[in-house]
Structure 1
């Protein structure tokens, strides 16, 4: 249903809604997308090491992955999660280990100035999977659909998904641009390698914290 919407259809949907609701959707989307998390940290480090262009597939994968997750949660998958909460716990566990994998990729990443062609760059699939295994993404989807769903119509949810797609893409691209700018400040390979260590260990710390929460938070 969403795929067949034209720009005119989306415009008509937006016109029917109040400005306050639209503004709330923008603020929510921006705050969740721009705030630091595993995806943002990965984009920052990858762009610093390999440039914005080579990071763009990961940005695209993360954005498309999140929006498809948002659609799934908004149109019924959340009911399955609520019925079988063990599924969400399993996703959290898998997500923690996937974030460790991404963190290792960053730890072992070499600056582009060293021309290391064997250096692994997170790709479209990595970005897509990271969102589906990222608890922050699930929380954002669940919170957003709860806030902007209506009982008798899908109009607010459809508009919210469209807004989030644009804001998410823009926010992640900003992190990518910031990483490329940082490469100028961190002008030598030793500084960049130190930054890689910091970002990689940050992701691993996040994943350990996630695993700790799985076993301690009831």
Structure 2
């Protein structure tokens, strides 16, 4: 594997994992509303799901790619509903009376990744596209899974720390901030659900 290929892989991973997406928006909101400690449980769950998805991609790459359209249809519907639920939870959060246990748990983070099409597409394509053409050894693939997961974990942790860092400054605008983040999630749910394509078609 050449240095150019490694640079392309790292660039792809950083762009996909650090840019705003449903999971990162939820992490930012969780850290802002409920604190970094609680949100880290969500991050750990999301990271564990990342490992599971990447591992499935390595083990069943051919079968998964063949069934990707069907998988995405299910993920779009399930993910859209789950994101709308999280958007409602975020909008109603007041930081004091809202129980974070409803979604900001290890299981909540794990489930969020499993129904996030952005993550599904990324995890199902990154290893087969960038690693397997050059290295199919168990050691090489395990290192690749660990490296990609580490980048994803750092991205999610960055969003969590960002929310915690600006918590005090945004305190008096809590409702507005929660509304904006909730609307971002609603937008993500609508765009990934396929409704827009159906309307256009």
Tell me which interval the TM-score lies in, with the shorter structure as reference length. 0.7 to 0.9
- Answering whether residue 25 of structure 2 is matched by residue 41 of structure 1, we say yes
* Unaligned runs of at least 5 residues, structure 2: none
5 Å matches for 1:197-216? 197-211=179-193, 212-213=195-196, 215=198
- Answering whether residue 145 of structure 2 is matched by residue 164 of structure 1, we say no
5 Å matches for 1:123-162? 123-145=105-127, 146-150=129-133, 153-154=136-137, 155-162=139-146
- Answering whether residue 76 of structure 2 is matched by residue 92 of structure 1, we say yes
* Unaligned runs of at least 5 residues, structure 1: 1-16
Distance across 2 between alignment mates of 1:215 and 1:161: 36
Number of aligned pairs? 197
In the TM superposition, what is the alpha-carbon distance from 1:199 to its structure 2 partner? 0.5
RMSD: 2.4
Larger Rg: 1
5 Å matches for 1:1-218? 18-76=2-60, 79-80=63-64, 82-83=66-67, 85-111=69-95, 115-116=96-97, 118=99, 120-145=102-127, 146-150=129-133, 153-154=136-137, 155-188=139-172, 191-211=173-193, 212-213=195-196, 215=198
In the TM superposition, what is the alpha-carbon distance from 1:85 to its structure 2 partner? 3.2
TM-score between the two structures when normalised by the length of structure 1: 0.80
TM-score between the two structures when normalised by the length of structure 2: 0.86
List 4+ stretches of structure 1 deviating above 6 A. none
